[in-house]
Amino acid sequence: MNGYPALTVLDEQRQQIPLAVVPGATGITSGYDAPPRPFTLRPGDRATASVLWRNTFTDSTAAPTNGAYVEVASATGQAAQAVDPDGPIDLGNTGRIGVSAWKPAEPTTPAQPPAPSAPSGAPSVAATPDSRL
């Protein structure tokens, strides 16, 4: 992978909101402007990117823009995947949203399945190599 995700922000009716997608955070904030660096994803690997915006009003006569859904593609022209932003995307009326470059995600440790619980009132039994059950 190399570059920035392709974002599409949708409203409540899942209609595309016309926005400028800014690579990095220029004009929004600082700290997300690391340039893209190529890397390879192997099966099971993941990549991440940050999406950022500000609720800023530059024109008091313009209505605010509120996004409800995001579609993300690995690059322009690639198949997009719906992502739930877990809350509204309140963009003010600036018409822009920023996105960081892709980067490899930190590996995660798979969760261990929970141990079966003993029936209520039954004593718990642990087997060892010397146990006779």
Place of tokens 């926005």: 19
Beta bridge partners of 43: none
Is the pLDDT assigned to residue 99 strictly greater than 80?
yes
Residues 6+ apart with CB under 8 A from 103: 34, 37, 39, 47, 48, 49
One-letter amino acid for residue 53 of the chain: W
The answer to pTM > 0.95 is: no
Average pLDDT over residues 78-91: 90
| Per-residue pLDDT at 34 | 85
Q: pLDDT band for position 77 (50/70/90)?
A: very high
Average pLDDT over residues 56-83: 89
| Per-residue pLDDT at 125 | 41
Average pLDDT over residues 100-118: 71
| Per-residue pLDDT at 13 | 93
8 Å CB contact between 81 and 73:
yes
